[in-house]
Amino acid sequence: DQQVKQNSPSLSVQEGRISILNCDYTNSMFDYFLWYKKYPAEGPTFLISISSIKDKNEDGRFTVFLNKSAKHLSLHIVPSQPGDSAVYFCAARGDLINNDMRFGAGTRLTVKP
Amino acid sequence: NAGVTQTPKFRILKIGQSMTLQCTQDMNHNYMYWYRQDPGMGLKLIYYSVGAGITDKGEVPNGYNVSRSTTEDFPLRLELAAPSQTSVYFCASSYWQGDTEAFFGQGTRLTVV
């Protein structure tokens, strides 16, 4: 039962261009969404999040968009840099009582110089 | 600033052996979590704790046990290791749940042969 799906296992973009990573979810009870970035041999690190009451959240080069009706969110990185090359995980959480944060399988982003 | 520290980083176990994965955090976080990540999959919650003396099952608890005697430490015990427990294990902590991110350790790569 995969409630959070990242259908693209990998993405390759040129330095300076936009990277768009997508995530779909099935559980309408999710109300908080997070993106984590993971380098090899390291744990995931938090990147950006969005509450279900918003449709956009921006932090520097990173913007997350949420489309609740489509149960879809996306992470935009502009401009992409080689240091952004990593695996990106989408995660979703339910109400404040639910501790079970569900993760997608991840998308490996490669930014080519 | 150590954050979340996991030991060991790597371990090979024989079927039927037992071991404890150690996790400690120095951020005075109330919430701690254990996740496992299988190849090509997202992270799945094994157990979590909302404070010292309180633990609860996550999505995939079978074959594992935890304890939380202090705020800082949250060890994960594997009894009777099985090949299905071959995975990368991540410990995480957060100040509270809800609209806040979790901080992850570097992971423990466990192979059961």
Q: Give pLDDT tens digits for B62-88.
A: 999 999 999 999 999 999 999 999 999
The average pLDDT across A67-84 equals: 97
Task: Note whether B56 contacts A99, CB cutoff 8 Å.
Answer: yes
Beta strands in chain A (DSSP E): 4-5, 10-14, 19-25, 32-38, 45-51, 56-59, 62-67, 72-77, 86-93, 102-103, 107-112
* Contact with chain B for residue A48, Cβ under 8 A: no
Is B22 within 8 Å of B44 (Cβ atoms)?
no
Pairwise pLDDT comparison (A101 vs B27), residue with the higher score: B27
Write the residue in A34, A43, A96 that is nearest to B97 by C-beta.
Answer: A96
Write the residue in A93, A96, A104 that is nearest to B42 by C-beta.
Answer: A104
Q: Give pLDDT tens digits for B5-51.
A: 999 999 999 999 999 999 999 999 999 999 999 988 889 999 999 89
The average pLDDT across A34-39 equals: 95
* Contact with chain B for residue A71, Cβ under 8 A: no
Task: Note whether B101 contacts A9, CB cutoff 8 Å.
Answer: no
Pairwise pLDDT comparison (B73 vs A28), residue with the higher score: B73
